[in-house]
Amino acid sequence: MAWGMRNIVICLYGSSIMEGRIGVDDPQDRWYNVFQKLLSRAHPDICFPIVNSAVGGESTREIMQRFDRDMLPYNPDFCLFMVGGNNHDCQNPSRIPAEGELPALLDSFVTRLPKETRPGGVVFSPVVDDLHFAARHPAFR
């Protein structure tokens, strides 16, 4: 019988949804802690350290500016990411990606990941409806 546990390191990367703090009072109820608990129960011989490198409110460009500092040092086995939700800041148009910039940023993300790291993620555009702050902003009228 081998001693010690195998580690599978998971890095969370993106903005507030990945960060997981909004609307959750007890840290143990944050989605990634629940996820870690479920993984550990399903695979009791494996340790699943989770590094949360997500920062709420950032655009995809801002997220990628800290990639080398906040993701690469952990050399994760998996990188779970979600980007795009903060890309259309009508109050600060300089944050809005130029035509073709988002695909280039995502290509950069994939090519800069360590070879062994498996990515899993979601890219989405913000939903602008009657409940979204941008629906009341003159730029969207």
List the chain pLDDT tens, one digit each, 141 residues: 457 889 999 999 999 888 988 888 899 999 999 999 999 999 999 999 999 999 999 999 999 999 999 999 999 999 999 998 888 887 888 888 888 898 999 999 999 999 999 999 887 765 555 555 555 656 555
Q: Which residues contact 19 (CB under 8 A, 6 or more apart)?
A: 12, 52, 54, 55, 56
CATH of the domain at 95: 3.40.50.1110
The domain of 56 spans 6-140
Whether 127 is in a domain gets the answer yes
Whether 135 is in a domain gets the answer yes
Whether 91 is in a domain gets the answer yes
Whether 1 is in a domain gets the answer no
Q: How far is residue 61's CA from residue 84's CA, in Å, rounded to a whole number?
A: 9
Provide the number of structural domains found in the chain.
Answer: 1
Q: How far is residue 96's CA from residue 15's CA, in Å, rounded to a whole number?
A: 15
Taking the model in full, what pTM does it have? 0.82
